[in-house]
Amino acid sequence: MSKRYNPDVDVPEYKGRYAPYDILKEGTIALVVVLILVLGLAITFGSPDDKAITLQTWSKADPVDFATTAFNELNGTSAVAGYGPPYNTNGTSQHFGFISPAKWLGVHIPINTARDFVVTPLESQPASPTLSRALSQWTAATSATQTSWLSAYSNVSSKASFTGDQLVVPAAKDGPVPVMINTLTQMARSGALDQALETSKGFYTTDFTKPLLFLSDGTYFAGLAQKGHLLGTQWGMMNETDSYPGQAWLWLYTFWYQVSPFNTSTSADFLVWGLMMILTAVLVLVPFIPGVRSIPRRIKLYRLIWREHYRDL
């Protein structure tokens, strides 16, 4: 029994003329042309090689913003402190209905912002009577006392300034909080905080999770992203720094962040990822979907592309 001919899969026997083709010559020409274009475009439009943003960079450029963020970390009111899995259980993980992979996996990168971003780094510093007293006072205090100190500091923190290489905050009944925040700011400005957070799991490490999370909680990093056209609302995923061309192939991925309901959802990342997985699966399965796989044959666009070939048939 002969196999039934399927126009979407089977290829008819070619009976036209043949012409010589030097694939090595063609490949060499293509390689040289592309190489010249790549080098020329890279020289003309190559993006700047900006230096990495560190906690030291931030604290020197905007020490008050750093100190404010450090207080939020100590107070447990920062975005990371209330993020939820995989860092803590203080927030709701991204989900779609009952589908919540982050919740299922649980907390596997535990982050306690007060302890990990403030107290532990301060404890790693050389002994200082003032700092030692402040840390002892903090750790010995009850939760209620710590809360009252934090509340008092919060009431005056909006008037904070940076003068003479010191953080200046109006006096209040805030216990050791001013000393801790000021010392952490000095620590960051010296570069010691970057080192403390990067090496918290060992001497040799390339884990920048904690410094990056700390950076993300402030306004300085977001401000730089806005200036560089890298925010999500600026199609930042497909942009390069400033006005330089970026990853144009990511246009579809970042497009969804600009439209409803994704642009207002707290689970936008998960929803967009899920949608892109569905679209990718559809693309992969095109050859197996009846009707859809017949579109190229029915619209006959291929005959226009290969018109010289079909003229010879």
Tell me if 171 sits within 8 A of 14, measured CB to CB: no
Name the 3-class secondary structure at 87: coil
Give the mean model confidence (pLDDT) for residues 250-258: 93
Give the model confidence (pLDDT) of 185-210 as tens digits: 999 999 999 999 987 666 677 889 99
Q: Are 86 and 102 in contact (CB under 8 A)?
A: yes
> What value does the mean pLDDT of the chain take?
90
Most distant CA pair in the chain, distance: 96
Summarize the confidence of residues 126-155 as an average pLDDT.
94
Cα 229 to its chain centre, rounded Å, is: 14
The pLDDT of 217-239, averaged and rounded, is 91
Give Cα 154 to chain centroid, integer Å: 29
Q: 3-state DSSP call for residue 130?
A: helix
Secondary structure element (H or E) that encloses residue 279, with its range: helix 268-284
Confidence (pTM)? 0.80
What size, in residues, is the chain? 313
Written as one letter, the residue type at 203 is: F
Structure-block tokens of residue 239: 């942009």
Contact 67/168 with Cβ under 8 angstroms?
Answer: no
What pLDDT shows up at residue 313? 65
**Amino acid 290: pLDDT:** 86
Given a cut of 90, is residue 287 above it in pLDDT?
no
Position 32 confidence tier, pLDDT thresholds 50, 70, 90:
very high
Residue 39, both tokens: 């080098």
Q: Residue 218: pLDDT above 70?
A: yes
Which among 127, 116, 132 has a CA at the least distance from the CA of 180? 132
